[in-house]
Amino acid sequence: MARTADPRAKIELLRSAEAVFAQKGLTAARIEEITKRAGLSKGAFYLHFESKEAIFRQVVESFLARCRACMLSPDEVENLPGDPAEVVQFCHARDVEVYEFLWQNRAILAILQACEGEHVYLMRAFRDEMTSNCRMWIELWKKKGLFRDDVSSDVAAALLSGAYHELAGKMISAPKRPPIDEWLRQALSVFVDGLGTPTLSHAIARFQNRLRVSKGIG
Amino acid sequence: MARTADPRAKIELLRSAEAVFAQKGLTAARIEEITKRAGLSKGAFYLHFESKEAIFRQVVESFLARCRACMLSPDEVENLPGDPAEVVQFCHARDVEVYEFLWQNRAILAILQACEGEHVYLMRAFRDEMTSNCRMWIELWKKKGLFRDDVSSDVAAALLSGAYHELAGKMISAPKRPPIDEWLRQALSVFVDGLGTPTLSHAIARFQNRLRVSKGIG
DNA sequence: CCCTTTACTGACTCGCGGGTCATAATAGGA
DNA sequence: TCCTATTATGACCCGCGAGTCAGTAAAGGG
């Protein structure tokens, strides 16, 4: 009867690969380093993965799929809020949820930031996903009369996704978890004032007052 | 008497290197390809540059120096505007000038976007320069009572630099020159509304009306 | 023209690291 | 315990590309 594979081997390899790719990037990461870290041989690596590129793709693509699942688009959300005050709360809660996910996966995010050459499509895919998601939400809020019409959805999406992406970068480069809730509250305030109609701007002002009271901040 | 060097050899090598790095990134770019493109031999390359990394650094660092010179900080500008209307005009003009420079150097910007491994410091330097520059301007406008106090300068700087960086990325990935003036006008409008005090917001509204009239846009 | 010094050439060297494969080890069933 | 099929090992292979260097070319002066 055949010897059975160690059920933990593949998982250890994936974990080690993630860590080494995050630290070194794809090019400088070596199979030797990954396998040593996982406590396995180089030969064993090729029993589980076809190539260096194959494991790289698996690490990153599974993250992108989970990321995709986390960033819902408007037609994937049930019971969309209508009231401006609820819209503001909804957006903040969603931002916090996405950034919690990104914080938990900050190693892979660091990998993505450093994709080069033929793998730059992965980084591009991630950023395009963010931009596209932003654009869909922007168009919904425009349709509901909550966002201004004179800024094109493309430009607005680029500004939003660029800004939030930079916040993500700032978050993952911090030595320990920063006050991301507060960052997101401020960011939301800036963009609601910048892109929102007066109705929505009033709602953000009230939302912030409520947050301050609940945190005991004068 | 010694043979003199071809004065154009080094320049051709730098030009070719820039093009190949922009297309392939540092890792996949080969000396053979750079020299063939420049019409020289591999051996000649090493008469002018110590290594592949040396020429890479020269290409990128000279761009960063020129970039630094283009993005003036507040203490480098004479006759700073005081009137809100003039502030808005000044900021727009400066944005346009910086983005014209970035458009002219879009190949090197593409190189920077793909820095990996031990060269990621170059990309980091570029982005930190942008963020730091934003922060200085933000703090000036805050001091003049034109920007709101409740958004921290760090967060505001991250949002601004991230957003403008994404606009730069969107610009350089366009097949031909996009309407960057219009993009920058919209971006400025969003951020003045998002970060500015009412005084400044009124100024942006008037600035936009004036722009529309001068362009014949209803 | 010859001489000298340097630029230039391109075949070659050599180290690196992804991937291979002969051999050893082991899990599970009889 | 033995047998079988598979896992696992790590020395080795081999292609790639940065960099080298013996030989050639050429600029400029005498």
**Taking every pair of C-alpha atoms in chain B, what is the biggest distance, in angstroms?**
74
Q: Name the residues in A38-57 having a C-beta closer than 7 Å to nucleic acid strand C.
A: 42-43, 46, 51-53
Closest CA to A102 of A129, A75, A83, A81: A129
B99, B38 contact by CB (below 8 A):
no
The distance of B4 to chain A (nearest Cα, Å) reads 38
| Whether residues B79 and B42 fall in one domain | no
Residues of chain B with pLDDT under 50: 217-218
B123, A113 contact by CB (below 8 A):
no
| Whether residues B33 and B101 fall in one domain | no
What gap in Å lies between CA A218 and CA A122, rounded to an integer?
A: 45
Q: What is the DSSP letter of B147?
A: B
Return the pLDDT at B106.
Answer: 93
Residue B54 within a domain: no
AA identity, residue B82: G
What gap in Å lies between CA A147 and CA A135, rounded to an integer?
A: 12
| Whether residues A139 and A188 fall in one domain | yes
Q: For residue A38, what are the domain limits?
A: 1-49
Residue A145 within a domain: yes
Closest CA to A114 of A99, A103, A126, A104: A126
| Whether residues B36 and B86 fall in one domain | no
Instruction: Please state the three-class secondary structure of A65-95 as a single string.
Output: HHHHHHCCCHHHCCCCCCCHHHHHHHHHHHH
Q: Give residue ranges of A with CB < 8 Å to any B CB.
A: 24-28, 114-118, 120, 131, 150-152, 155-156, 158-167, 169-170, 183, 186-187, 189-195, 208
| Whether residues A90 and A151 fall in one domain | yes
Helix (H, G, I), strand (E, B) or coil at B196: strand
What gap in Å lies between CA B143 and CA B20, rounded to an integer?
A: 46
The distance of B107 to chain A (nearest Cα, Å) reads 15
What gap in Å lies between CA B185 and CA A59, rounded to an integer?
A: 40
**A117 backbone φψ class: left, alpha, beta (φ>0; ψ -120 to 50):** left
| Whether residues A176 and A86 fall in one domain | yes
What gap in Å lies between CA A37 and CA A17, rounded to an integer?
A: 9
Residue A55 within a domain: no
Helix (H, G, I), strand (E, B) or coil at B218: coil
Residue A197 within a domain: yes
Instruction: Label residue B108 exposed, middle or buried (CB < 10 Å: 0-12, 13-18, 19+).
Output: buried
Return the pLDDT at A111.
Answer: 87
C1’ C3 / CA B6, Å: 22
CA distances (Å), origin B202, targets A28, A94, A148, B146, B174: 52, 32, 16, 11, 33
> Cα angle vertex B165, ends B159, B166, to 5°?
90
- CB spacing of A152 vs B186 below 8 angstroms: yes
| Whether residues A170 and A141 fall in one domain | yes
Dihedral over alpha carbons A41, A46, A51, A53 (to 10 degrees): -60
Closest residue in B to A123 (Cα) is B114
**Residue pLDDT, tens place only, B40-92:** 999 999 999 999 999 999 999 999 999 999 999 999 998 898 888 899 999 99
- CB spacing of B117 vs A25 below 8 angstroms: yes
Instruction: Label residue A5 exposed, middle or buried (CB < 10 Å: 0-12, 13-18, 19+).
Output: exposed
- CB spacing of B156 vs A190 below 8 angstroms: yes
Reading chain A (218 residues) residue by residue, the pLDDT tens digits are 778 888 899 999 999 999 999 988 888 899 999 999 999 999 999 999 999 999 999 999 999 999 999 999 999 998 898 888 899 999 999 999 999 999 999 999 988 877 766 677 788 888 899 999 999 999 999 999 999 999 999 999 999 999 999 999 999 989 899 999 999 999 999 999 999 988 888 888 777 776 666 665 43
What gap in Å lies between CA A146 and CA A140, rounded to an integer?
A: 9
User: Does the CB of B43 sit below 7 A from strand C?
Assistant: yes
Structural domains in chain A (count): 2
- Of the candidates A162, A186, A193, which has its C-beta nearest B165's C-beta? A162
Residues forming a β-bridge with B147: B196
Which nucleotide lies closest to A6 by the C1' atom and the CA atom? Answer: D7
CB atoms within 10 A of CB B158: 26
| Whether residues A176 and A128 fall in one domain | yes
| Whether residues A5 and A68 fall in one domain | no
Phi first, then psi: give them for residue B29, nearest 5 degrees. Answer: -70, 135
Residue A109 within a domain: yes
The distance of A27 to chain B (nearest Cα, Å) reads 8
C1’ D15 / CA A40, Å: 25
- Of the candidates B151, B161, B170, which has its C-beta nearest A166's C-beta? B161
What gap in Å lies between CA A206 and CA A200, rounded to an integer?
A: 10
B171, B102 contact by CB (below 8 A):
yes
| Whether residues B29 and B80 fall in one domain | no
**Which positions in strand D are less than 7 Å from the protein's CB atoms?**
3-12, 17-22, 25-29
Which nucleotide lies closest to A30 by the C1' atom and the CA atom? Answer: C17
Task: Give the DSSP H or E segment for B105.
Answer: none
Residue A54 within a domain: no
The distance of A165 to chain B (nearest Cα, Å) reads 7
| Whether residues B197 and B94 fall in one domain | yes
User: For the domain that residue B139 is a member of, what is the CATH number?
Assistant: 1.10.357.10
What gap in Å lies between CA B207 and CA B204, rounded to an integer?
A: 5
A88, A207 contact by CB (below 8 A):
yes
Residue B44 within a domain: yes
ipTM score for this prediction? 0.87
Q: Give residue ranges of B with CB < 8 Å to any A CB.
A: 24-28, 114-118, 120, 131, 150-152, 155-156, 158-167, 169-170, 183, 186-187, 189-195, 208
Q: What is the DSSP letter of B177?
A: -
What gap in Å lies between CA B218 and CA B207, rounded to an integer?
A: 15
| Whether residues B181 and B105 fall in one domain | yes
Closest CA to B116 of A27, A190, A189, A8: A27
Which residues in chain A have their CB less than 8 angstroms from residue B195's CB? 190, 193-194
User: For the domain that residue B10 is a member of, what is the CATH number?
Assistant: 1.10.10.60
Average pLDDT over all residues of chain B: 90
Q: What is the DSSP letter of A196?
A: B
Residue A188 within a domain: yes
What gap in Å lies between CA A97 and CA A94, rounded to an integer?
A: 5
Domain boundary residue among A26, A49, A72?
A49
- CB spacing of A183 vs B155 below 8 angstroms: yes
Return the pLDDT at B16.
Answer: 96
